[in-house]
Structure 1
Amino acid sequence: MSPQNIRIDVHHHFFLDAEKKAKKNLEVGWRTPEENLPWKPLISLDAMDKLGVRTAILSPPPVTSSSIGEENRSEVRQQNIYASQLCAAYPDRFRFFAGLPFLDDVEASLEEIAFSFDVLGADGVALISSYGDGNSAKYVADDLYDPIWKELDRRSAVVLLHGTQTPSSTPYPHPWLGVPITEVPNETYKAAAHLVVSGKKRRFHNVNIILTHLGGSTPFLASRVAALSHHMGCPLTPDEIIDDFKSFYYETALSAHETTLTAMSTFVPSERLLFGTDFPAVSTKTAGWYTENLENYFAGRPLDLANIMRDNALRLFPNLGRTKAQ
């Protein structure tokens, strides 16, 4: 693989417990490809070779507990250690985002940040848009989580922010339109908007936040937030709100199409876009379809394509750049 063709996938999962994953899928209306379960690193490596991906930054499945406890802390620690072991076993192919405990467990989350960065060598952390169930759920900009953001800001950390698989108050409309398809993109948008209007995106500006799936609904609703949230009392001006939305990074998993990429090209420069696949939640064929769309769209702009596929990630993750042969 020539240096020009190296791709870096910033949205790539690993699953330790296939049975738990399959059960969760049934609850939210999603079918992970059978050939990807039970997941093993060789499954990802085979897909990466077919997709031209040199390095994948692994992210853990979301926390499975909605309460503070030793079981949750232990589960997350086990996942992070396992991810670091994969990176040691395949140093040219895998890096990882650390998972954190249920975020209300602020002390344990701070401990896991320190352990993951200082001992395991994580490249960032993976967060979901909200923590908890129903009316007790808190979005990531909640004041309770400020000590976590403060520590991430001190470290100039990278955060991969993924929409939560939160069911709507009504059933999803069709078996082919489960929660990951209908709700997750809106959850990503809600978390991003919360970070912006609360002032947390501006306050913790040293944190580099990547929104998954091109931000879900974010690019299309940012202007709605800009005018209407300002009207409702947000002290930021509409232009300041738009600027803060533009300060996120956006990755392409399950979202790269002519329509969405055209919208993104008017919203942020190519330096703010990163390549992602969401494998193994989807098949190699599905990931390849989106990758082909991305390549075709930027076929006449090789520098922009190189930024998205590789160069932006190398700038965002300095350790990644130092450990890979160029």
Structure 2
Amino acid sequence: MSEYEEQTERPLCIDVHHHLFPGNLQKANQSARVGFRTPPENLPWSPEVSLKAMDALGIDLAILSLPPGLPAGAAGPENRSAAREYNILMSSICDRHPGRFGFFACLPIPSDSEAAVAEVAFALDELHADGVALASSYGNASEATYIADDAYDTVWHEINRRGAVVFLHGAQVPSSTPYPHPFLGIPITEVPNETFKAAAHFVVAGKRRRFPNVKVILAHMGGTLPSLAPRVAALSSYMGCSLSPEEIIQDFGSFYYDTALTAHHTTLTAIETLIAPNHLLFGSDFPAVDHRTVDWYTKNVNDFYANDPEQLAKVLWKNTSLLLPATLSRLVNFKSISDSSHYPKRYG
């Protein structure tokens, strides 16, 4: 147990999957378009909404990111300007609440490579972002391109040169077929598969090996990836991929995975067979869901590792603190100016 854990009498927790909903997003309307009901108590979102939930859930620090698809619009001056404004907004939230937030910067559409590379530099060097957030794909319908498309290589080169972290989140892309049921809309059936498709694209296109210094976090435990990875490994050669099954599985295992809206005995058992113990990170997906839902998934993590407190600590905070060293220094600095004794000890 670290000195900080002893002082607060509970496990530390760092949340790598925590969104902000800027006012111009009109989140309630956006959610309604895909049949999802964002908890009304989380809207309109403000940092205080997150802080209240974080205190109730025992989350010390959350890494903010925009929902995929922002900044919206075509490549050009407006898209570039929106990315800059969003990043300054996230940085200002971190400044106003020291020790509670970090952020993954958004970028202009990566095909606008000069602007995207410039925003990487500004966000990481000037605003001290923890990394950058990318969507699984950009563009609409047949015009969409996935994140390993050659058009994005200039951006990947820069991120790789820096050895930076990328938070990769599935886009809300509709299927070409109707929903099977109103209860099984885009957020449930499509977003997890988009994360898988983006990660698989990155692997079979050889980009995982071409850009080995990039540290990629896959949202929602990679979505459908754990069950489909062996299928990609064995069958992609029939489509012309030159990588062996063992190389493909190795590349899938090199990603980091967060637990947001995914953690259960079944999924945690599967992911443990694919990745190293230091590649699983805690995520909540708040405020897309209410704190009761986050609590249910968090309890699943705690129950799964009940007999392995060291691995539980790795998932809740140690793995993230190694991947993002600035997070722990923020917490230590925060402890020196703030009494955190009001946080509850979770699950005994």
1:303 aligns with 2:343: no
More displaced 10-residue stretch of structure 1: 287-296 or 231-240: 231-240
Matched-pair contact (CA < 8 Å) for 1:18–1:39? no
Unmatched tracts of structure 1, length 5 or more: none
Offset of residue 18 of structure 1: 6.0
Report the Cα distance in structure 2 between the residues aligned to 1:136 and 1:256, rounded to whole angstroms. 34
Amino acid at match of 2:50: S
Deviations 1:218-245 (A, max 9, x none): 1110110011112322111110010000
Aligned partner (choices 78, 85, 91) of residue 78 of structure 1: 85
Offset of residue 108 of structure 1: 1.2
More displaced 10-residue stretch of structure 1: 198-207 or 12-21: 12-21
Q: How does 1:109-124 map to 2 (within 5 A)?
A: 109-124=116-131
Amino acid at match of 2:101: F
More displaced 10-residue stretch of structure 1: 99-108 or 65-74: 65-74
Amino acid at match of 2:219: T
Amino acid at match of 1:45: L
1:254 aligns with 2:261: yes
Instruction: State the match for 1:149 in structure 2.
Output: 156
Aligned partner (choices 322, 331, 342) of residue 324 of structure 1: 331
Offset of residue 16 of structure 1: 0.9
Aligned partner (choices 97, 101, 105) of residue 98 of structure 1: 105
Instruction: State the match for 1:287 in structure 2.
Output: 294
Offset of residue 30 of structure 1: 1.2
More displaced 10-residue stretch of structure 1: 129-138 or 67-76: 67-76
Matched-pair contact (CA < 8 Å) for 1:66–1:132? no
Offset of residue 154 of structure 1: 0.6
Deviations 1:47-106 (A, max 9, x none): 101111100000012325341122211221111101000111111100000001122211
Change over 3 Å in CA distance of 1:223–1:19 after alignment to 2: closer
**SS of residue in 1 equivalent to 2:171:** coil
Offset of residue 4 of structure 1: 5.0
Report the Cα distance in structure 2 between the residues aligned to 1:141 and 1:201, rounded to whole angstroms. 9
Instruction: State the match for 1:17 in structure 2.
Output: 23
Q: Output the TM-score relative to the length of structure 1.
A: 0.97
More displaced 10-residue stretch of structure 1: 154-163 or 166-175: 166-175
Q: Output the TM-score relative to the length of structure 2.
A: 0.91
Matched-pair contact (CA < 8 Å) for 2:168–2:219? yes
Identical residues among aligned pairs (%): 56
Matched-pair contact (CA < 8 Å) for 1:66–1:133? no
Offset of residue 320 of structure 1: 1.6
Offset of residue 266 of structure 1: 1.6
Instruction: State the match for 1:53 in structure 2.
Output: 59
Unmatched tracts of structure 2, length 5 or more: 1-6, 336-348
Deviations 1:244-296 (A, max 9, x none): 00000000000001111111122223211000000000000101100001100
1:265 aligns with 2:272: yes
Matched-pair contact (CA < 8 Å) for 1:18–1:38? no
Equivalences, count: 326
Give the RMSD, CA atoms, in angstroms. 1.3
1:240 aligns with 2:240: no
Aligned partner (choices 217, 222, 226) of residue 215 of structure 1: 222
Offset of residue 3 of structure 1: 6.8
Report the Cα distance in structure 1 between the residues aligned to 2:79 and 2:34, rounded to whole angstroms. 21
Change over 3 Å in CA distance of 1:227–1:61 after alignment to 2: same
**SS of residue in 2 equivalent to 1:122:** coil
Instruction: State the match for 1:176 in structure 2.
Output: 183
Deviations 1:12-71 (A, max 9, x none): 000112662222112222111000010010110011011111000000123253411222
Report the Cα distance in structure 1 between the residues aligned to 2:13 and 2:306, rounded to whole angstroms. 15
Deviations 1:161-183 (A, max 9, x none): 00010000112222221101110
Amino acid at match of 1:243: Q
Aligned partner (choices 130, 133, 158) of residue 140 of structure 2: 133
Instruction: State the match for 1:41 in structure 2.
Output: 47
Report the Cα distance in structure 2 between the residues aligned to 1:23 and 1:69, rounded to whole angstroms. 25
Change over 3 Å in CA distance of 1:300–1:191 after alignment to 2: same
Change over 3 Å in CA distance of 1:316–1:129 after alignment to 2: same
Offset of residue 202 of structure 1: 1.0
More displaced 10-residue stretch of structure 1: 275-284 or 101-110: 101-110
Amino acid at match of 2:162: R
**SS of residue in 2 equivalent to 1:126:** strand
Report the Cα distance in structure 1 between the residues aligned to 2:223 and 2:67, rounded to whole angstroms. 18
